[in-house]
Chains A and B, each alone.
Chain A
């Protein structure tokens, strides 16, 4: 029960790694505020199930992270109605294209979703944490931000920006006892990864991994749990690769 009596705000938690974070946080008795783009029945069912199984509160907000006005409205509503202890910024957009075929529109969309929206959203949410002088913020970046994978100039750049932002925030917010860390997952078995990674490339990468397999998303979520919990109370400003050993 690592998160009992805490409230965690999770973005992009209806699939992939985000969904695993949601389940693991719920199992550790965190109350939850979930931000997803749109309603879907499977997600609503999961939320109801987690509420009943764990006797926790879960509120769901629908938010379009490409619209600044929407981000502001929802974030203001959240901090008015919830005392947030943990923020997990997990939304992400990925579209592969070689650099010479990357349009400015593609680059802009990556930065809008992967960087600007998280910048703005976090700016509002930290008000809730500053008030109680306590908090943990976790950004979900990517090993692509460090490795520079072919075809991911936009994605890698936007995630690198997140890495830098996280470091700066850790320094600026430390005085309020707010910790800020980033994890950089490698290949995890999610729809997003399967849809954007060529199978031959995937096999080649796996051959070179120390652990010789891709991650179960729950293995990424466990590291997020550690960073969210008081087990990591003296850890801030860090970028942790969770990549099976590259």
Chain B
């Protein structure tokens, strides 16, 4: 597992307080109780801090799934 991938997964499991086993490409916003709007903002803050980036507001809104997040991070030159 690449460093960035493990950081990415860790951000999800820590900020949403979920098991690392369910952090995978099937994970989508609002499909589990933990990834609600509050969890989302905590996740965004965690990713910003770990990758030293600052998301555009549109990207915060578009970040709708584990997979979409990987795509968005490419804009910030973060390859997962």
- A55 near B: Cβ within 8 Å? no
A127 touches B48 (CB 8 A): yes
- Digit string of B27-58 for contact with A (CB within 8 Å is 1, else 0)? 00000000000100100010011000010010
Q: Nearest-CB distance from A71 to chain B (Å)?
A: 12
Contact in complex: A124, B54 (CB < 8 Å)? yes
B57 is contacted by which of A123, A130, A131 (Cβ under 8 Å)?
A: A123
Write out the residue numbers on chain B whose beta carbons fall within 8 Å of the beta carbon of A131.
45, 48-49
Which chain B residue has the least Cβ–Cβ distance from A132? B49
Interface residues of A in 123-147 (CB under 8 A from B): 123-124, 127, 130-131
User: How far in angstroms is the closest Cβ of chain A from B36?
Assistant: 12
Tell me the complex Cα distance, A127–B55, Å: 10
Residues in A neighbouring B45, C-beta threshold 8 A = 127, 130-131
Interface size range on A against B: under 10
Contacts of A4 in B (CB 8 A): none
Secondary structure class of chain B's binding surface, majority of residues: helix
Residues in A whose Cβ lies below 8 Å from that of B54: 76, 79-80, 124, 127
Number of chain B residues whose Cβ lies closer than 8 Å to a Cβ of chain A: 7
Chain A positions within 8 Å of B48 at CB level: 127, 131
Min C-beta distance of A16 to chain B, whole Å: 31
Report the minimal beta-carbon distance from B39 to chain A, rounded to whole angstroms.
11
- CA A130 – CA B47 in complex, angstroms? 12
Within 8 A of B (CB), among A154-201: 175
* B-contact 0/1 string along A107-124, CB 8 Å cutoff: 000000000000000011
Looking at A76, A79, A80, A127, the one whose CB has the most chain B CB atoms below 10 A away is A127
* Complex CA distance for A231 and B21, rounded to whole angstroms: 45
In whole Å, how far is A126's beta carbon from the nearest beta carbon of chain B?
9
Kindly provide the distance from the CB of A132 to the nearest chain B CB, expressed in whole angstroms: 10
Q: For residue A189, give the distance in angstroms from its CB to the closest CB of chain B.
A: 39
Interface code B53-75, partner A: CB below 8 Å = 1, 0 otherwise? 01001000000000000000000
Within the complex, what minimum Cβ distance (angstroms) separates A82 from chain B?
13
Q: Smallest distance from the beta carbon of B50 to chain A beta carbons, Å?
A: 11
Q: Are B38 and A175 in contact (CB under 8 A)?
A: yes
In Å, the complex CA distance between A124 and B54 comes to 8
Residues 67-88 of chain A, each 1 if its beta carbon lies under 8 Å from chain B, else 0 = 0000000001001100000000
Which chain A residue lies CB-closest to B38?
A175
Q: List 14 A-B contacts (CB under 8 A).
A: A76-B54, A79-B54, A80-B54, A123-B57, A124-B54, A127-B45, A127-B48, A127-B54, A130-B41, A130-B45, A131-B45, A131-B48, A131-B49, A175-B38
Which 7 residue pairs are nearest across A and B when measured between Cβ atoms?
Answer: A130-B45, A131-B49, A76-B54, A127-B54, A127-B48, A123-B57, A131-B45
